[in-house]
Structure 1
């Protein structure tokens, strides 16, 4: 029996492919005293029964980078460790049975080319040549990725484990971690149990790779890890005569995937309504277990499969398999350090793509742990996106009935989840609902995305073309440009930073000058050591010792964690999340002053209330703090109102606005207005990988104020010159739409992607943002090129600009 050490640099909990990958990559980086503890046997949870599909293309460049890394690693592992991995790059085909799906997969093909992934759009006849057993009668298009493939998941994990051991890691089976210990908010060790024996390992780092057990383990430490197990079904046929090697086949319109293996066919499903499992926990002796068969649940998939693959009609079923896998509320896995506890790391919740993801995820997490920051932008999978309420088990059980099926659903732009809704609501929710609001959900917040007219259905009709709310958005958009609009932005994250050392602290973590007079609002970024953007926010100085920070609702937990992690022990600063205490009403447009003056005795003139300042005002019969800022490029104010008064203030504004044609506006309009103005959106246009100068935000960086995090990187980039620039693009053809991830084409060559897009109703065409390489080039040289944007394989001419196409001198915000 292996002796369990009393000390380790890191303890990895869980011996599936995720834990083995983290151990392997940390060991390759030279970490010593690595201990991996597996409660039963390696791979005994989910890894052993995974289908083993290896797909390289993901929804973003960095997720694709990690998936490609996994595929490359698995090819090399066999030679490195001597363990056969079953890895073969036999390619994959995705077929479309509808023209909407064809648009989606062709857009994905464009994305693949932008990410240097080999891809071919192929005709139904070409599909038949590659997959002769397939019924192509109703196939309208397909995409072929020749370097995708399949593998033996358990052997991949075993190879990673052997590789980790070869580099010095200790891997011990049949040891259960019972508790993670901490002191002063930092991991100090773990307790373990084995065959009646108990002990402790002192350590500074723990990695929760517990898969479907990970949520409950994390909860015991107060860490939020929202995931829930679902039943996942597949069948394996008896051997089929003359069945040769075939590419992996996906038929998402029928919720099915197919994999040939050793002369047999595996048929798996991601059905639209899934079956959650393990609501009340998972029994301790669960090991290489299967769940009961449910043929009635699987039968609709099988019926379609027999039509799609006629040879299945006569093939016997060798295995009907049902096993649990963990799913998350947004179908993205979790990676990174938990915001609740330093040294508590997570790599879990893989949503049935754990085999193709874990190689790259283990690499990225190991680099993150080693360097203290991620190797590139990982916000999509960052554990800090999880909201504390999402660990609620009833919420998770309902949500994962949907998220499993969403893997193969149409990934339409603006698609909204249907389950677990209404959790976080503004005090104005019922007011907005009564006035036609159609809501979307972000971080649990219900937000009005658009307003339906009387008699119009209040739901989305999804499409890759103009959706049923396009004209609604146009009217809202033009109201903001020409009249006045009102938004409910209560979902903003709101943070108070106060105390004796608040100014000193914010000067260090923010790039702009924070030593301003009380009442001044500062637009700034928090940077990392590379000059990348960790947060994009406004900060209002309330007093000598108190500051008010406004961040996107989706990034609140990330921003709180960043602030708390950067606080020095000797600094007297209190950081408080006050998001729920205030509603935010955003009044924007050239007639905004006319409206607010009707219900407030305060002076809103430029002289008394200039741009970039905040004042307490009387409004209606209540009070508000008015911030003169804008995210739409117009005159206006953000009104921060105590939640108990927000309904009254809303009613007062609505009444006062009738004379000026006030229009209620949604988040789609906020986005289309900001993109016309060229304002950046965190998570799309700017991330921790994007240098603040290349993002065009140098005006918000004050190197002269003294030292701050990222200053050296800013100075270096100033000296060396920019390697790329953020540009704004407008399609000359007014018909096509841009969303994000379309390919940017410069002088005939794909050079980048559209980071965000929307329709510019005032400018009269689709607008996109994106970075263009520019090393050694002047602005004039960058703009002298010919630009196109590729949408689903078709290229459209685009005009490019460094400055905002709408109101380039920002005169309208100071009307």
Structure 2
């Protein structure tokens, strides 16, 4: 987003809870001192989620950026002091397993700690787990995951400490100022209107928490957020904690099998429960601060519903039997924010300059998010965090439908502690988006998974017989483990093999398509992408969009269909937002999402030309239709835009047409390809083939924390062109990290992604460089589990079995010194170590003979 021209902008932060206070501290630390924090309630106890939050902090998360937010928050809060009292109690965190399935899940979560660098993590057996939380019934426990620096954030205290620091730098803090409106002139914010008067602002940041949807609506914005009530109870004194003078000694405890968590509170306990029906709340229905105060409460604290707490009490008695019957001294339903993908909502408004959002942020991640937002607002990007998965503008329009938001947020509440597979699709609101081929895909027994609302076949039951047919020419079918084997079928192997030997069609409709037209389109695109745009009509260019710091925002394919007519194959809604916000004022260029009105079939394989050429008078020969070229053509009666591209490494085309003719195109290709053995193939085969061929996937293999050289896509950068991020690219330091292809030795050792990678030999050394025992914070000594010795050097981004090559492959980020082909490493997979070797890429057809034939 273009930065404001003023040197010292006036900033208003709406909301003085943990996020707003953290942001005020972070942004004033960067020298912006004309900052005003407004809140409708008193401060530091404003009456929002922060005011009643129990403060339990667990840093382990399946998302790298969320763990990084949490680690920064812990480190910052450990150093914060208010009126002589610490803002963080580093008592540790313990997740327990009461089922074998959860014990395996904790193995996976331990892998996250190693991948993301969460310090002080250890897997515990049942004995160690009970010794760490000695009130647990040993018969109920299978094991645990312990993280030394997890603990209790004193959220209200942290609010006060950070607001004090912000004030000392010149910030103004205004409690009891309810925001009534956000003032906008033209397309820029000019201030906020409160019940105490107007406040001028050049930048307004919405940190209103559960009131976020209400504030966002003032600028015509819909947030994918639902406030939901969550049960929490403070108990009276319990005998096992009698005489306690400190607030907490034992780690915060998470019992995810029962959707419960616990923390000590002096002589009592705090018990939080997600094991109850979803209780969505509208921001507009929350009590006013004055009414809540008059009733002796807070707007975010609702009446307790005892019937929903019967299971938590019974389960607590089962796993902590010595506590006896518990007295609930202060029990309530506290309101927190949930989003449709469990990620925060961060970033600038799509069309109103100066309005920013930092919403759906829990105490655990608050300081990290605030640092990211301060960097983004002041510098134009975050130098510390990859924020693409948090970008406010990442959603498709259907994902902002009120019914969808509430249904998805309620589902996420129910599943908050569930063991979810990365490919597990949502079960409600389906189907939402279907290609014109959907009916045929169902007829073929398509096993549908969901992505951004699109129904996408992962494989087809109609191809099951291929596994044992005479078309099986010896390709290997692996036997993946339980986790890797979910949402998998041996039929995927058959579909990949037929693509390599004959021909297959793939539904590529879910690929985001953006049309860029009008006078100046070439110049506009050239300002954003790293490839050369002023090429001949019919050219197709693979290139990147960079952020201003030279990091990769996206990889795109740009086809020049006319002098000022381009079709961009993008990665999602944030690409569309990025392009639109960089349109110059008064530009004649039009940027339009054409995905819904069009469709795409990828037809690939050695026999692809045999299928397509008889259907058209257009020359589809290699001489007449070169690789990375586009043509308009008629296939039968259907007009298509054909692009000779291949993300599976075989001869073929992407065929685009209007949605109304998509089904006819499908039927035409299937009929014409029957004599050539054509099949429909799914995303399982597609992903395996693209990794064999060395193609990256943005968002997984590379993000904006990486440069083109690091990600191995510097061939897509033409430094003789001018584009956003070029100057930073020239001066940005290279830390030596690289995205590397790994070949895994075991033929069935298939991984999925996010697993830690270790240097071979590191399992010979303990955390301090020696083998032996480790003494925990409680003074207990244990033999060090070899699986936990040493630190991970990198992590897996994406992986698949390479059916063509007969071996599992994985992409991984590795540091300098470990990136040369032939380097041996190990991948931590649950409780195992898989041997792997860095491999030159692409692993398949490195000379590009098949794709260019």
State the TM-score, normalized to the length of structure 2.
0.88
Match of 1:242, SS? helix
Equivalence for 1:137:
139
CA distance in 2, matches of 1:452, 1:321: 50
Equivalence for 1:111:
112
CA distance in 2, matches of 1:253, 1:548: 48
Q: How many angstroms does 1:111 deviate by?
A: 2.6
Query: Does residue 339 of the first structure (1) align with residue 350 of the second (2)?
Result: yes
Query: Does residue 546 of the first structure (1) align with residue 565 of the second (2)?
Result: yes
Q: For the structure 1 residues 86 and 544, does the alpha-carbon distance in structure 2 shift closer, same or farther, using more than 3 Å as the test?
A: closer
User: CA contact under 8 A between 2:539 and 2:629: conserved in structure 1?
Assistant: yes
Q: How many angstroms does 1:106 deviate by?
A: 1.3
Per-residue CA distance 1:382-421 (angstroms, 9 max, x = gap): 2121233333222122112210122200032312222233
Per mean C-alpha deviation after superposition, the further-off stretch among 680-689 and 48-57 is 48-57
Query: Does residue 814 of the first structure (1) align with residue 852 of the second (2)?
Result: yes
Query: Does residue 521 of the first structure (1) align with residue 544 of the second (2)?
Result: no
Match of 2:66, SS? helix
Per mean C-alpha deviation after superposition, the further-off stretch among 283-292 and 587-596 is 283-292
CA distance in 1, matches of 2:636, 2:100: 53
Which of 834, 840, 844 does residue 802 from structure 1 map onto? Answer: 840
Match of 1:647, SS? helix
Q: How many angstroms does 1:204 deviate by?
A: 1.7
Q: How many angstroms does 1:653 deviate by?
A: 1.7
Match of 1:324, SS? strand
Equivalence for 1:213:
211
Which of 314, 318, 328 does residue 325 from structure 2 map onto? Answer: 314
CA distance in 2, matches of 1:134, 1:450: 45
Match of 2:371, SS? helix
For structure 1, the residue ranges without an aligned partner over 5 or more in a row are 1-6
Match of 1:674, SS? helix
Match of 1:411, SS? coil
Where does 1:697-736 land on structure 2 (aligned, <5 Å)?
A: 697-704=713-720, 706-716=721-731, 723-736=736-749
Which of 217, 224, 227 does residue 225 from structure 2 map onto? Answer: 227
Q: How many angstroms does 1:542 deviate by?
A: 1.1
Which of 357, 360, 372 does residue 365 from structure 2 map onto? Answer: 357
User: CA contact under 8 A between 1:585 and 1:640: conserved in structure 2?
Assistant: yes
CA distance in 1, matches of 2:499, 2:98: 41
Equivalence for 2:19:
18
Which of 55, 58, 61 does residue 61 from structure 2 map onto? Answer: 58
CA distance in 1, matches of 2:268, 2:481: 38
User: CA contact under 8 A between 1:85 and 1:159: conserved in structure 2?
Assistant: no
Q: For the structure 1 residues 182 and 253, does the alpha-carbon distance in structure 2 shift closer, same or farther, using more than 3 Å as the test?
A: same
Per-residue CA distance 1:296-328 (angstroms, 9 max, x = gap): 333233322221111344222222221211100
User: CA contact under 8 A between 1:485 and 1:587: conserved in structure 2?
Assistant: yes
Query: Does residue 569 of the first structure (1) align with residue 569 of the second (2)?
Result: no
Equivalence for 1:251:
255
Q: How many angstroms does 1:124 deviate by?
A: 0.4
Which of 391, 397, 414 does residue 388 from structure 1 map onto? Answer: 397
Equivalence for 2:30:
29
Match of 1:783, SS? coil
CA distance in 2, matches of 1:536, 1:215: 32
Q: How many angstroms does 1:164 deviate by?
A: 1.8
Q: How many angstroms does 1:62 deviate by?
A: 3.1
Equivalence for 2:312:
301
Which of 606, 619, 627 does residue 611 from structure 1 map onto? Answer: 627
CA distance in 2, matches of 1:465, 1:671: 14
Which of 452, 455, 474 does residue 446 from structure 1 map onto? Answer: 455
User: CA contact under 8 A between 2:798 and 2:810: conserved in structure 1?
Assistant: yes
Q: How many angstroms does 1:129 deviate by?
A: 0.8
CA distance in 2, matches of 1:691, 1:221: 35
Equivalence for 1:191:
193
Match of 1:814, SS? coil
Which of 66, 69, 73 does residue 76 from structure 2 map onto? Answer: 73
Match of 1:654, SS? helix
Q: How many angstroms does 1:239 deviate by?
A: 0.6
Which of 510, 526, 538 does residue 491 from structure 1 map onto? Answer: 510
Per-residue CA distance 1:248-299 (angstroms, 9 max, x = gap): 1111111111111112112212237522222864344464143233233332
How many residues align? The count is 786
Per mean C-alpha deviation after superposition, the further-off stretch among 273-282 and 135-144 is 273-282
Q: How many angstroms does 1:180 deviate by?
A: 1.9
Q: How many angstroms does 1:598 deviate by?
A: 4.4
User: CA contact under 8 A between 1:440 and 1:449: conserved in structure 2?
Assistant: yes
Q: How many angstroms does 1:462 deviate by?
A: 11
Equivalence for 2:751:
738
Per-residue CA distance 1:522-545 (angstroms, 9 max, x = gap): 000011233211110100001111
CA distance in 2, matches of 1:665, 1:33: 58
Per-residue CA distance 1:465-489 (angstroms, 9 max, x = gap): 4125331322222222222222212
Equivalence for 1:4:
none
Which of 630, 651, 655 does residue 667 from structure 2 map onto? Answer: 651
Q: How many angstroms does 1:692 deviate by?
A: 0.5
Per-residue CA distance 1:124-143 (angstroms, 9 max, x = gap): 00111111111232432211
CA distance in 1, matches of 2:283, 2:435: 30
Equivalence for 2:799:
757
CA distance in 2, matches of 1:277, 1:175: 23
Per-residue CA distance 1:439-458 (angstroms, 9 max, x = gap): 222222222233335999xx
CA distance in 1, matches of 2:680, 2:204: 48
Q: How many angstroms does 1:676 deviate by?
A: 1.6
Match of 2:302, SS? coil
Query: Does residue 200 of the first structure (1) align with residue 198 of the second (2)?
Result: yes
Equivalence for 1:3:
none
Equivalence for 1:581:
597
User: CA contact under 8 A between 2:822 and 2:839: conserved in structure 1?
Assistant: no
Q: For the structure 1 residues 46 and 772, does the alpha-carbon distance in structure 2 shift closer, same or farther, using more than 3 Å as the test?
A: same
User: CA contact under 8 A between 1:279 and 1:397: conserved in structure 2?
Assistant: no
Which of 799, 805, 809 does residue 767 from structure 1 map onto? Answer: 809
User: CA contact under 8 A between 2:505 and 2:681: conserved in structure 1?
Assistant: yes
Where does 1:595-606 land on structure 2 (aligned, <5 Å)?
A: 595-606=611-622
CA distance in 2, matches of 1:185, 1:759: 50
User: CA contact under 8 A between 1:224 and 1:386: conserved in structure 2?
Assistant: no
CA distance in 2, matches of 1:716, 1:173: 44
Q: For the structure 1 residues 421 and 193, does the alpha-carbon distance in structure 2 shift closer, same or farther, using more than 3 Å as the test?
A: farther
Match of 1:304, SS? helix
Q: How many angstroms does 1:625 deviate by?
A: 0.9
Which of 495, 498, 519 does residue 479 from structure 1 map onto? Answer: 498
CA distance in 1, matches of 2:528, 2:443: 43
User: CA contact under 8 A between 2:758 and 2:827: conserved in structure 1?
Assistant: yes
CA distance in 2, matches of 1:157, 1:407: 26
Per mean C-alpha deviation after superposition, the further-off stretch among 177-186 and 258-267 is 177-186
CA distance in 2, matches of 1:454, 1:307: 49
Equivalence for 2:379:
371
Match of 2:709, SS? coil
CA distance in 2, matches of 1:769, 1:455: 29
Equivalence for 1:684:
700
Query: Does residue 263 of the first structure (1) align with residue 278 of the second (2)?
Result: no
Q: How many angstroms does 1:771 deviate by?
A: 2.3
CA distance in 1, matches of 2:154, 2:715: 53
Match of 2:711, SS? coil
Equivalence for 2:469:
none
State the TM-score, normalized to the length of structure 1.
0.92
Q: For the structure 1 residues 772 and 45, does the alpha-carbon distance in structure 2 shift closer, same or farther, using more than 3 Å as the test?
A: same
